[in-house]
Every structure is written in structure tokens, then in C-alpha cells.
Amino acid sequence: MSDLRSILIFLLLLPAISLAQTIHVNKEGEINYKGVIGMQGESKNDFYQKAKNILLTYVNPNADSLIEKKEKQEIRTSGEVNISTSYQSIRKFRFQMKLQSNEQGIGYEIDNVQLIAGERGKKPKTIPSPALVKGMEESGTVAKETEKTLNAIDMHIQKLIAVIQSQASK
């Protein structure tokens, strides 16, 4: 009977386990996403131009914000995304995104994630990603709010990666 009860509890908790946060963290405890968008049939220069257009369209439309290293076929810019909150609160996160073209397609890296949080009319606080991830070690309300924020950041980054993948394959 206890085996049946264990299985039942597991099945009831399965949705909560499967919806757990998927934030990508490197060895230093920083939020970091890396990957390659596989592409075929075009040259490295075509991939580079496509990467540049993607960054200008979906991350930061300011061409002056682009840092180009043409010899490495690498381009980097910063982006900022608002996280929905109540009216009195302000939450957004900043990040750096690097796209690099190679023979396989376009490699991407999203790092230097920072949370900007505060109340309207007051100076917001900037929280680097290692401090934000460390907030998960707390208990109670702090951990709950941190998890909610990390899930929102992850959702926005995953959406951005999906958009980049769909645009790169066109």
C-alpha cells in the first residue's frame, strides 16, 4: 500500500517537477546560455550579415551599440527586457549577446545578465546574476520571488533564442 501511495504522490508532484526552472548557470554561478544555430548552404560572410541583422532587429536597434570583430566573424551587443510587474515596481534585465558565424552556422552566447529592480520614483538596484542565483539558497519569500524572477528571465531568453533560430533559418 505504501508503494501505491508513493507512486500517487510522485504522479501528483510530476507537473511541479517538470515545470521547474531551467535557467542556465555556468561554473561561476552566472547566467549563461550558449549554443549553435545550424545552417547550410551559405557562406560565413552571409551568416555574419544575417547575425548582424538579427541583433539589430531583435536585441538592440542602435547600430552604435554593436561591437564588431570582423576578423573573428563575431558581433556583440547589449539588450534590455522589461519583466512585467505591478505598477509601483520596475523590473528589467540587461544582458550581452554575442553571435559568431562559422562554417556550421551561427553560434550564440548570452551572458553578463543583470537584474534592475526598484520602485517607481526611486533609484533602482542592479543585481548581477551570481547574486540573483544565490537568492535561491534563501528560504521563504526571498526564494519564491527569486525563482519567479529567474523563471521570467529564462522565459524571455528562451523566446529570444527561438526567434533567432527561426530568423536565422529563413
Domain ranges of the chain: 24-168
Q: What share of the chain is helix, strand, coil (3-state, %, to 5)?
A: 45, 30, 25
121-170: pLDDT as tens digits = 899 999 999 988 887 777 788 788 888 888 889 999 999 999 888 887 77
24-38: pLDDT as tens digits = 888 888 999 999 888
Could you give the CA distance from residue 63 to residue 58 in angstroms, rounded to a whole number? 12
Residues 6+ apart with CB under 8 A from 83: 91, 92, 93, 149, 152, 153, 156
Chain center to CA of 101: 20
Task: Say which CATH class 24-168 falls into.
Answer: alpha beta
Please tell me the pTM assigned to this model.
Answer: 0.78
Minimal CA–CA distance to 96: which of 65, 52, 53?
65
C-alpha cell at 108: 550564440
Q: What is the pLDDT of residue 109?
A: 93
- What phi and psi, each to the nearest 5 degrees, are found at residue 106? -125, 120
Largest CA distance in the chain: 67
Chain center to CA of 3: 40
36-86: pLDDT as tens digits = 888 776 777 888 888 888 889 889 888 888 999 988 889 999 999 988 877
